Structure 1
């Protein structure tokens, strides 16, 4: 009888916890630890483990009706990188999608605003790299996408090179009137979540896992799915969710879409981030990839300009993919 009572009590507690998540601003909080290589452990909220599907198994057929004008590309940046990271983008892949690309930053820059034809948006978020401030920018990006009326929202970071024609080809495999969450996981297994007991001497207990698309590689969301996110994410609600469950912006997005809305992430293996070893990507496959990243001592091994002139290899990659540009070596 004692065991049965304990079981019933556990069921009640789990049910109450689940209900509190659905309103995410309620008074009940569950804290979790993320076990992710190379990152600081952070607090999490209960979620479930869902399978991640591959684009080879999914997709709804070629959709040639989708054009570049149907895509809203947002790039998250900061005033700290206006003079360092953005020039590499503006002189390379941005040239392929000037009208579709918007930069979301935390400070004004009249020169960049003119160069981008007004596509530099000051979010008025803080310029730090803290969770709340990154969530703030993502929230603004999402609201701007909704206002644009476009069929696809694709988020990238300011250390990404985007192979725009390949991005378009990939999106043409999916129907934006259906729910699609396209991304690339940063590890080959889900993030493991643990519940933290109130008594600090007790060990955390395993409570589930979470798949999410890392923003550092790129994430695309269909209009149908974005509209279903409105009650939970629009008008600053995404910031509230981040603060309530204490998740980084990309993991919060995965939590919102996969757990709350029940839409599995589709892995796009052509997305790449600086979390991978860029130099290990063979030259022969670069034309088929969608995004690339870079970090200190982690760049693509692609021929072209001198490394002093092109430390990110973005210009060299751009000329390798599209040699017809005038600035490319002949």
Structure 2
């Protein structure tokens, strides 16, 4: 009898201890969750990283009031639900650009900015639009890459980009996850930046991938404004190391009818010799490959515009659309680099000659003896080719600022600056 009582007491004691242990564990878990939810800011979990450096991914699904921190748009404050792993302390919000919990009144969108803070600058110089009266019927396209934003693109943004309609200027780059601060500045400056999924390299198909994205941007805008085709009469492409003289470009294109097939650029005569005596031609492998895509070659010889830029009339863009916007990248049709491939498509397949323009200058030319008057009449000029100009700006890496001041002396940072030729 006594042994049964002892056994029964043992079971009761064990069961009681077990219940207490479970109760304590549940209480401790709830307490931890409450404390974490109230006090802790968002923490990094073992999830894939967010697209911008320094961001955290807060997983709080299926709670409907939670939103992700993984946004590419900077300077946005969003309220988060206060549960474990998702959110700032009560009454705080997350500044997604700086990745820190702040009060709502500190949000960049909500606080009053000074005039100086609203003023966008590059290299400590204000971005100032200039109105030339030219270029209103041109769609400009520039190809770049994330590692060259500060080395090249920013110089264009400060200078000749300010002389064009930003709605008709597209910038195609690569790697959406790189150079977040630079990307934010480009977008805040009002420019259309397309971050493609093209590889950030300089090989044939990476460059052609970006070029295809450039053509897609043009056709997309053209389709969107079907009743305003007069605003998209020319497609002009330039690399990120070129300065474009917008008045000179506008005057040049005024001489040609965009409803006729024109391919305008500069034949690299420094390499091949002058036109029409020198030319390039398709070999048998290239001919066979083009034929395999059911395209007909009108002639084997062709000319192409080099990296100093080119313009295609609306008539050419319409005729070339089936190739440039085809299911297969046009460079895979031609088996060549992007600039040469455009020459093959327009010259060999469509049978349209290149209109060679001497005022479009390449990176291979020596312009050191050019006068100020000659320099101001350049249509385009490549980086490091403005060696004839003595720039007053210490940060004028390519001479773009000096040339910009020659053309637009009313720009505030150009005033009282004297631009002369090197002695």
TM-score under structure 2 normalisation? 0.55
Calculate the aligned-residue CA RMSD, in Å: 2.3
Indicate the larger mover: 103-112 or 175-184. 103-112
Q: Of 364, 367, 374, which residue of structure 2 is paired with 1:285?
A: 374
* Distance of 1:185 and 1:280 partners within structure 2: 22
The residue number in structure 2 matching 1:107 is: 175
Q: Does residue 396 of structure 2 align to residue 310 of structure 1?
A: yes
The residue number in structure 1 matching 2:362 is: 273
**Displacement of 1:192:** 4.2
Aligned residues: 250
Change in Cα spacing, 1:95 to 1:81, as seen in structure 2 (3 Å) is same
* Distance of 1:271 and 1:254 partners within structure 2: 16
Q: Of 201, 204, 220, which residue of structure 2 is paired with 1:131?
A: 204
TM-score under structure 1 normalisation? 0.70
The residue number in structure 1 matching 2:340 is: 251
Change in Cα spacing, 1:122 to 1:186, as seen in structure 2 (3 Å) is same
The residue number in structure 2 matching 1:117 is: 190
Q: Of 234, 254, 259, which residue of structure 1 is paired with 2:325?
A: 234
- SS of the aligned residue for 2:197 comes to coil
**Displacement of 1:235:** 4.2
The residue number in structure 2 matching 1:184 is: 266
Q: Does residue 313 of structure 2 align to residue 222 of structure 1?
A: yes
Change in Cα spacing, 1:280 to 1:248, as seen in structure 2 (3 Å) is farther
Indicate the larger mover: 271-280 or 284-293. 271-280
* Distance of 1:259 and 1:209 partners within structure 2: 6
Where in structure 2 are there 5+ consecutive unaligned residues? 1-132, 223-231, 286-298, 417-423
Where in structure 1 are there 5+ consecutive unaligned residues? 1-65, 198-206
**Displacement of 1:279:** 2.0
Q: Deviations over 1:45-72 (max 9, x none)?
A: xxxxxxxxxxxxxxxxxxxxx9523211
The residue number in structure 1 matching 2:150 is: 83
**Displacement of 1:281:** 3.0
* Distance of 1:104 and 1:129 partners within structure 2: 14
**Displacement of 1:305:** 1.9
Indicate the larger mover: 277-286 or 72-81. 277-286
- SS of the aligned residue for 2:406 comes to helix
Which fold has the larger relative contact order, with Cα–Cα distance below 8 Å and residues 6 or more apart in sequence?
1
The structure with more radius of gyration: 2
Change in Cα spacing, 1:222 to 1:195, as seen in structure 2 (3 Å) is closer
Change in Cα spacing, 1:116 to 1:263, as seen in structure 2 (3 Å) is farther
Change in Cα spacing, 1:171 to 1:287, as seen in structure 2 (3 Å) is same
**Displacement of 1:329:** 4.2
Say if 1:193 and 1:210, in contact at 8 Å, map to a contact too: yes
Say if 1:112 and 1:120, in contact at 8 Å, map to a contact too: no
Say if 1:278 and 1:293, in contact at 8 Å, map to a contact too: no
- SS of the aligned residue for 1:221 comes to strand
**Displacement of 1:151:** 1.1
